[in-house]
Amino acid sequence: MRLESLARTGYIWCSIFGWYNPGNNPLLPADHRVGLAPLRNTANPDTKRLAHELIDVTGLLRHLHTLDFTPATKEDVLLVHHEKYVNRVELESNHTGGDCGDGASPFGRGAYDIALHGLGAALSMLKAVVKGEVRNGYTLMHPPGHHAEPDTGRGQCMFNNGAISAEYALRNLGMRKVAIVDVHVLTISVHQDRNFPADTGMAEHRGEGKGFGYNFNIPLLPGCGNGAYEYTLETLVLPALWRYKPDLIIVASGLDAGIMDPLARQSVTNKGFVSITKKLMRVADELGHGRLVYLQEGIHRIIETLAGVQTLEVDPYEGFLDTQYGSALEPWQKKAIDRLVPHLDDIK
């Protein structure tokens, strides 16, 4: 493969993302009175830092088109979020820190500024892809954002980078239709049923009023692996994208479905994530534009697939994970997925 074709994948990482402080608790605040010890937060930024180092030491970095970026502005954040919420987070960040809103998403001093850097990286990648400077893009950013709502953060997320990026593309980059695919505008969310937040993401949550049909929730039963996720892509996600025909696809890319993830109970391996990425690349190309932007939420290895480069690095757990339960599509999983096919009719 020619190197000039490999350099068409944009990449952004900045060391400041690794300085985001989510506090010393895995989910709930440490409290010795109820037996909660001060442990590393599951959303700590070290995973992103190590992912960048892996991209570097495998030699992949030199094949990518590394992009510069500028931090986002408060005006960018206000495209989606309420001013009262944004002002509160900014104020707390300028003092001793605070919480994004759900009581389980703490942040330290300076977090607001780091979040603006992360959003700025997302918007810069977006502009590079839309302008044709790169074929597709991968932004290794922190903090994550896909759980954040207009008036509050939750799930370790401060600002919803994907939603803001979509709104920015519609208002400022000439995009008529944008789709967000969240493997965790048209929003297609593939996720474990009632995992987090437990009161959201139901199949019947399909948008309201003029927005009905623009939200496509695909709750999967616990235990779904590569087979179930690949079947979901072919049966629901790709047909939805074909019906909607977006000018840009944004992927809120997370690890929650991974077999080694500590929070969810799904069984997708690296092979599965690679397959998902290839399918999304294919549909972006078939739609005639190829515009695909990955915004990292959790962590998994998809950058090789986007760039079309295979390094010598292999997953040392691959052989073991392939033998574990959950890889194949099971009949009850297929039945649960098939029942959502009629929802495709409401996508405009």
Q: Please give the tally of structural domains in the chain.
A: 1
Tell me which residue range forms the domain holding 47.
3-27+37-341
Q: Does residue 120 lie within any of the structural domains?
A: yes
What mean pLDDT is predicted for residues 199-226? 77
* Structure token digits, residue 257: 């479905």
Examine the pLDDT at 195 and tell me if it is beyond 60: no
Q: Which of 144-148, 217-221, 320-324, 328-332 has the lowest mean pLDDT?
A: 320-324
Residue 281 to residue 249: CA distance in whole angstroms? 9
H or E stretch at 295: strand 292-296
H or E stretch at 138: strand 136-139
Q: Does residue 44 lie within any of the structural domains?
A: yes
**Mean pLDDT across the chain, nearest whole number?**
85
Nearest alpha carbon to residue 284 among 48, 79, 8, 59: 8
At 190, the pLDDT band (50, 70, 90 cuts) reads low
Residues with catalytic roles: 147
* Structure token digits, residue 211: 């927005």
Q: Does residue 187 lie within any of the structural domains?
A: yes
Q: Does residue 346 lie within any of the structural domains?
A: no
User: pLDDT of 73-132, one tens digit each?
Assistant: 999 999 999 999 999 999 999 999 999 998 888 899 999 999 999 999 999 999 999 999
H or E stretch at 307: helix 303-307
Q: Does residue 32 lie within any of the structural domains?
A: no
Q: Does residue 347 lie within any of the structural domains?
A: no
Q: Does residue 87 lie within any of the structural domains?
A: yes
Note whether 215 and 185 are within 8 A (CB): no
Nearest alpha carbon to residue 223 among 74, 319, 129, 331: 331
Residue 84 to residue 71: CA distance in whole angstroms? 21
What mean pLDDT is predicted for residues 269-279? 87
Tell me which DSSP letter residue 36 carries.
Answer: B
Instruction: Give the distance from CA 146 to its chain's centroid.
Output: 6
244-265: b or e for each residue (b if 16 or more CB lie within 10 Å)?
Answer: bebbbbbbbbbbbbbbebebbe
Q: Does residue 348 lie within any of the structural domains?
A: no
Local structure of 127: helix, strand or coil: helix
CATH number, domain containing residue 18: 3.40.800.20
